[in-house]
Copies of this chain bind each other. A is one copy, B any other.
Amino acid sequence: MTEHSHRPIGVAVLGMGNVGAEVVRILLQNADDLQARVGAPIEIRGIAVADLGKARACATSLLTDDPAALVKRPDVDIVVELIGGIDVPRTLIASALEHGKSVVTANKALLADYTGELATLAADAKVDLYFEASVAGAIPVIRPLMQSLAGDTVQRVAGIVNGTTNFILSAMDADGEDYDVVLAEAGRLGYAEADPTADVEGYDAAAKAAILASIAFHSRVTAGDVHREGISSITAADLASAATLDCTIKLLSICERIVDSAGRQRISARVYPALVPLTHPLASVNGAFNAVVVEAENAGRLMFYGQGAGGAPTASAVLGDLVMAARNKVHGGRGPLESTYASLPIAPMGDVNTRYYVSMKVADRPGVLATVAGEFSARNVSIATVRQEGAEENARLIVVTHRAPDSALSETVDALTELDSVLSVSSVLRLEGTDD
Seen from chain A, the residues whose Cβ lies within 8 Å of a Cβ on chain B are 1-2, 22, 26, 30, 33-34, 36-37, 119-120, 123, 132, 138-140, 143-144, 147-153, 218, 281, 296-307, 312-313, 315-324, 327-328, 331-334, 336-342
Q: Mind listing 9 A-B residue pairs with CB under 8 Å?
A: A1-B337, A2-B341, A34-B151, A37-B150, A138-B300, A139-B302, A150-B327, A151-B316, A327-B336
A306, B313: Cβ atoms closer than 8 Å: no
Taking CB atoms, residues of chain B closer than 8 Å to A305 are 281, 302-305
A37, B318: Cβ atoms closer than 8 Å: no
Taking CB atoms, residues of chain B closer than 8 Å to A328 are 333
Question: Which of B301, B306, B324 interacts with A306 by CB under 8 Å?
Answer: B301
Taking CB atoms, residues of chain B closer than 8 Å to A30 are 151, 153
Question: From residue A185, how far is it (CB to closest CB) to chain B in Å?
Answer: 23
Q: Which 4 A-B pairs have the closest CB atoms?
A: A333-B333, A151-B319, A140-B148, A138-B299
Taking CB atoms, residues of chain B closer than 8 Å to A152 are 26, 316, 319-320
B143, A148: Cβ atoms closer than 8 Å: yes
CA distance A208 to B313 in the complex (A): 26
Taking CB atoms, residues of chain B closer than 8 Å to A218 are 33, 36-37
B140, A302: Cβ atoms closer than 8 Å: yes
Taking CB atoms, residues of chain B closer than 8 Å to A34 are 151
A33, B153: Cβ atoms closer than 8 Å: yes
Question: From residue A3, how far is it (CB to closest CB) to chain B in Å?
Answer: 8
Question: From residue A144, how far is it (CB to closest CB) to chain B in Å?
Answer: 4
B307, A300: Cβ atoms closer than 8 Å: yes
A315, B298: Cβ atoms closer than 8 Å: yes
B299, A307: Cβ atoms closer than 8 Å: yes
Taking CB atoms, residues of chain B closer than 8 Å to A318 are 151
Question: From residue A154, how far is it (CB to closest CB) to chain B in Å?
Answer: 10
CA distance A344 to B284 in the complex (A): 37
Taking CB atoms, residues of chain B closer than 8 Å to A144 are 140, 143-144, 148
CA distance A217 to B58 in the complex (A): 28
Taking CB atoms, residues of chain B closer than 8 Å to A322 are 151
Taking CB atoms, residues of chain B closer than 8 Å to A281 are 305
B26, A151: Cβ atoms closer than 8 Å: yes
CA distance A121 to B409 in the complex (A): 61
Taking CB atoms, residues of chain B closer than 8 Å to A312 are 297-300
A339, B22: Cβ atoms closer than 8 Å: no
Question: From residue A325, how far is it (CB to closest CB) to chain B in Å?
Answer: 10
User: Which residue of A119, A315, A336, A340 has the most chain B CB atoms within 10 A of its CB atom?
Assistant: A336
Taking CB atoms, residues of chain B closer than 8 Å to A298 are 22, 26, 138, 312-313, 315-316, 319
CA distance A34 to B120 in the complex (A): 21
A147, B37: Cβ atoms closer than 8 Å: no
Taking CB atoms, residues of chain B closer than 8 Å to A302 are 138-140, 304-307
Question: From residue A298, how far is it (CB to closest CB) to chain B in Å?
Answer: 4
Taking CB atoms, residues of chain B closer than 8 Å to A149 are 140, 316, 320
B140, A339: Cβ atoms closer than 8 Å: no
Taking CB atoms, residues of chain B closer than 8 Å to A33 are 153, 218, 342
Taking CB atoms, residues of chain B closer than 8 Å to A297 are 312, 316
Taking CB atoms, residues of chain B closer than 8 Å to A299 are 138, 306-307, 312-313, 316-317
User: Which residue of A22, A151, A324 has the most chain B CB atoms within 10 A of its CB atom?
Assistant: A151
CA distance A334 to B30 in the complex (A): 24
Q: A152-B316, A333-B328 are in contact. Are A36 and B306 (CB under 8 A)?
A: no
Taking CB atoms, residues of chain B closer than 8 Å to A150 are 37, 319-320, 323-324, 327
B143, A339: Cβ atoms closer than 8 Å: no
CA distance A114 to B304 in the complex (A): 30
Q: A299-B307, A333-B332 are in contact. Are A147 and B324 (CB under 8 A)?
A: yes
Taking CB atoms, residues of chain B closer than 8 Å to A307 are 299-302
Contacts A140-B147, A151-B316 aside, 4 further interface pairs with beta carbons under 8 A come to: A1-B338, A144-B144, A147-B147, A300-B307
CA distance A333 to B333 in the complex (A): 3
Chain B, Cβ-Cβ closest to A306: B302
